[in-house]
A and B are shown apart, each in its own frame.
Chain A
Amino acid sequence: MRKLLSQTLIYYSIYALLMLLIATPFFYWLSLKLHLDDVKEAISLREKEFMAESKWKLLSAKDIAKWNEFNRDIKILPDTVGAAKGEIVRQVFYDALDDEWEPYQVLYRDVDTQEGIRVLMVRINLIESEDLMRGTALISIMILIFLLTGFVAVTRITSSRLWSPFYQILHQIEQFNIEQKSKPDFPETKTVEFQNLRQGLEKLISENIKAFEREKEFTQNASHELQTPLAIFQSKLDILLQDADLTENQSVILQQLYDASARLLRINKNLLLLAKLEQQWFIGKEPLNVRSLIQEVLPYFSEQAEEKALSLTTNLSEKEVLKANKGLTEILINNLILNAIRHNVFNGHIYIALNQNTLTVRNSGAPEPLDEHNIFQRFSSGGRYSHSSGLGLALVKKIAELNHWQVTYSFENNEHIFSVIFRKF
């Protein structure tokens, strides 16, 4: 993952590098060509000038010697030249002054003097002009480099300024938590796109918050409304139970109705509790001793475990003291142990351990791991286990979240392991 700006800059840099790689030889080649053309033109010009005056026809041997003595680059030579005539060629000549061989562009042509056929040589030294040419190329490259680096720098500065509203918005969204109800405060911007983004996000968020509130309210109202008919239903069952004329069949059905009613009540109670948790109704915190909380409920659970012939072992070593809501912490502990009993197998085992800051409940059960991502969702297992309310683990998760504790699930050695990691305050 790369940042937007560095990604832009990477493309710019690649382009700049490519330009430099291609442009440098091209510039060199171009300056070279232009210069050579110039040189060739100059040679032709000098040749034409020389030939134009036609005085060369009168040159004597003495004149030629004189001429050659004072002309460095235009000479009249005896006809012993091996090079091609009439065209400009490249040749190296020894320079006695510098003591080195230097490149020249040379033109040879025959001239008919009084002394017979002689060869006119017009030449121009390339060595100085090559320096010049190199200089030209270098300057061009320098300009190119300055241009590109400047371009990158400007892009960098303007982009970070242009994109700053975007980054601010991004930061705000990252901080946003729907449960805290506070809408993010996006920065004002003059860029149309960001303004649109801002408006779009604000709309989306406020609708989300509304939907979230509605859902919470609905759950709470629904379970509250259900409470009364459920109470009536149960009281009518209690009345019906007193009827002396009930047949055996009817009694069995009545018992089944009791069970169904108990389950309804349980689901409703947990739903109501979840809704309350989501509205953060429980603020009262007090110092709690987790060990004694567990010990208080163990007798009840031991009784329950006996019915399934479960072996229940505990190892509550540390006297962990937490600051949390007592009722909620009890619910968390109860639900974890309950879960271990409910989803256990006959003759299975449960192991409860409490150490420094972790409560671990390990139990035998179904031989395959549960879906880690789903088990803490509401009603994720409701269909499979007819007696569970499907809310127990959702409650555990929610209570842990409220206290900033961590709940984990793993499956090792055919054991389901739930852990709560408490954080001290």
Chain B
Amino acid sequence: MKILIIEDEKQLAESISKYLSGENYLCELACTFKDAIDKIYVYEYDCILLDLMLPGGDGLTLLEELKKLNKQDGVIIISAKDALDDKIRGLKLGADDYLAKPFHLSELGARLYSLLRRRKFDSSNKVAIRELEIDLWSKSVTVNQQLLPLTKKEYDLLLFFVGNKNRIISKSALAEHLSGDMADMLDNHGFVYAHVKNLKRKLAEAGCRDFIKTVYAMGYKWES
């Protein structure tokens, strides 16, 4: 999977690249508007991570450019401007998702994963990991062909883990993912523990092996 990271903050771009490279992604960086345009014209990417404020031009112009070229690349906007206007305009111009800075890399990982999944398959879109199967369209989960009833939160959690396979996910990232805007309001991460525990229990009861490992003091890791 080829990813283009258009981001003028080199440090941030490197972090993203490093995090994603761990999981089959091939990342390229573009730091300026011109740099990005050049790359877009020449190469095809599975997904473009696009910062809106770039030296030399506006990220939204780049989106328009992509549209003109009739490119099918998926686009996730990553912007420090958490303005609703930008978000709406970006999505209207064909961006697939919008992530406000600062974000957890695992959140980006999960969003990227589900975006790429959505784009790859049209009719049936299933993720299979050994005895576990997730149907992304119907949002149902089966273990050994047996339907596993999960709450919405548990399903979200499962996808988040699967989108960040083999990487440690911090509790704060999970909390933020589960409760959206309100996560950063309280530092209580106990509810994350409760949801993970429930998910693990349900998976175990259905006969699924224990993919979710607890990492001492830090968070969780999906190992498969």
Instruction: Give the interface of A toward B (CB within 8 A).
Output: 224, 227-228, 230-239, 241-242, 246, 248, 251-252, 254-255, 258-259, 262-263, 265-266, 269, 272, 297, 300, 303-304, 306-307, 327, 334-335, 338, 341-342, 387, 392
Contact = CB atoms under 8 A, between A and B. Distances in A.
Contacts of A342: 186
Contacts of A272: 82
B101 A242 contact: no
Contacts of B15: 232, 235-236, 238-239
B104 A238 contact: yes
A387 B217 contact: no
A232 B185 contact: no
A416 to B, nearest CB: 18
B7 to A, nearest CB: 10
Interface string B1-40: 0000000010110011011001000000000000000000
B182 interface: yes
A295 B107 CA distance: 27
Given A231-B101, A235-B19, A262-B184, 14 more contacts: A237-B170, A238-B19, A238-B106, A241-B219, A242-B19, A251-B217, A255-B170, A259-B172, A263-B187, A265-B102, A272-B82, A297-B182, A300-B182, A306-B191
5 contacts: A235-B16, A239-B15, A241-B218, A266-B184, A334-B182
Contact of B102 (A231, A303, A387): A231
A265 B100 CA distance: 12
A51 to B, nearest CB: 120
A387 B187 contact: yes
B110 to A, nearest CB: 13
A254 B172 CA distance: 12
B108 to A, nearest CB: 9
Interface in B158-216: 167-168, 170-173, 179, 181-182, 184-188, 190-191, 194, 215-216
A258 B215 CA distance: 15
Given A224-B80, A232-B11, A238-B19, A262 B172 contact: yes
B184 A231 contact: no
B54 interface: no
B22, B179, B185, B190: most-surrounded residue (chain A CB, <10 A): B185
Q: Interface on chain A toward B: helix, strand, loop, or mixed SS?
A: helix
A304 B102 contact: no
A338 B173 contact: no
Given A227-B102, A231-B80, A238-B105, A262 B187 contact: yes
Contact size range, B = 35 or more
B137 interface: no
Contacts of B215: 251
A395 B118 CA distance: 39
B41 interface: no
B184 to A, nearest CB: 5
Nearest to A251: B217
B191 A307 contact: yes
A278 to B, nearest CB: 16
A391 to B, nearest CB: 11
Contacts of B82: 272
Contact of A338 (B106, B185, B217): B185
A238 B185 contact: no
Nearest to A267: B184
A230 B181 CA distance: 17
Contacts of B12: 228, 231-232, 235
Nearest to B195: A303
Nearest to B22: A242
B188 to A, nearest CB: 5
B186 A258 contact: no
Nearest to A281: B83
Contacts of B179: 300
B79 to A, nearest CB: 10
A61 B101 CA distance: 140
B102 A235 contact: yes
Nearest to A243: B168
